[in-house]
Amino acid sequence: TLSGKVAAVTGSTSGIGLAIAEALAAAGADVALNGFGDAAAIEAMRAKIAADHGVRCIHLGSDMSTGAGAAGFVEQVAAQLGSVDILVNNVGIQHVAPVDEFPPEKWDALIAIVLSSTFHTTRVAVPAMKAKGWGRIINIASAHGLVASPFKSAYVAAKHGVVGFTKSVALELAETGVTCNAICPGYVRTPLVEGQVVDQAKVHNMSEADVIRNVILAVQPTKRFVETGEVGAFAAFLASDAARSITGAALTMDGGWTAR
């Protein structure tokens, strides 16, 4: 059980981050949500997590594209909930373009949100974890942290960076009771991806099932999406005491993608 622990999850008003926040709350942790969206919808998510699981749940709209926003998120969670014991660096964006046409401002934004925010939250969270002798840092990388696809140079670079950062931090903290790991999902069914299925089915004049199988999941041998709840359950396991010897790992949940 994670009762008495506080989890801070970046980018958690949607998709994988929200599922991780729910899984950690279900295990008993107090949870801080982060991310953008409709204020009433976010308040409904926050209230539901608190009510469903009997935990404290707050939301902070900190902008992870700046170092001050990322650092401030961890500081404010610690101020409001007492500590940050479990840090989940989940926030992410994507931009797809050939490298010679890749807009430099998109490159900078993607590296800031995916890679640098992970550094800034971690550097602020680590001292208190070390002092307590317990902590969990869980970075949501991607199969693209281990292998590449064309036209995703910034994302692939940032996610490989997250995997490297994970290993270095794990080694630094190895004797402190703080673990640091990366989860590397393949394609996960999030609202974003579901929209792509509908759009591609129209463009290709294919059934949605064929688009999933032959277009989107061409790289994923299981030919089905990872579900957000699966990533949530994995994160909850990594946060548990049973996972204390797992550190510095880039753990795949990719339906066999990187086994090829």
Return the active site residues: 155
Among 2, 8, 9, 14, binds ligand NAD (CB under 6 A): 14
Determine if 113 is a binding residue for ligand NAD (CB under 6 A).
yes
Among 188, 211, 249, 250, binds ligand NAD (CB under 6 A): 188
Q: Closest separation between CB of residue 145 and ligand NAD, Å?
A: 8
SS3 annotation, the chain: CCCCCEEEECCCCCHHHHHHHHHHHHCCCEEEEECCCCHHHHHHHHHHHHHHHCCCEEEECCCCCCHHHHHHHHHHHHHHHCCCCEEEECCCCCCCCCHHHCCHHHHHHHHHHHHHHHHHHHHHHHHHHHHHCCEEEEEECCHHHCCCCCCCHHHHHHHHHHHHHHHHHHHHHCCCCEEEEEEEECCEECHHHHHHHHHHHHHHCCCHHHHHHHHHHHHCCCCCCEEHHHHHHHHHHHHCHHHCCCCCCEEEECCCHHHC
Q: Which is nearer to ligand NAD, 102 or 134 (CB)?
A: 102
Q: Closest separation between CB of residue 175 and ligand NAD, Å?
A: 29
Among 2, 15, 239, 248, binds ligand NAD (CB under 6 A): 15
Stretch that binds ligand NAD, among 30-38, 78-86, 203-211, 244-252 (CB under 6 A): 30-38
Determine if 193 is a binding residue for ligand NAD (CB under 6 A).
yes
Q: Closest separation between CB of residue 254 and ligand NAD, Å?
A: 8
Determine if 181 is a binding residue for ligand NAD (CB under 6 A).
no
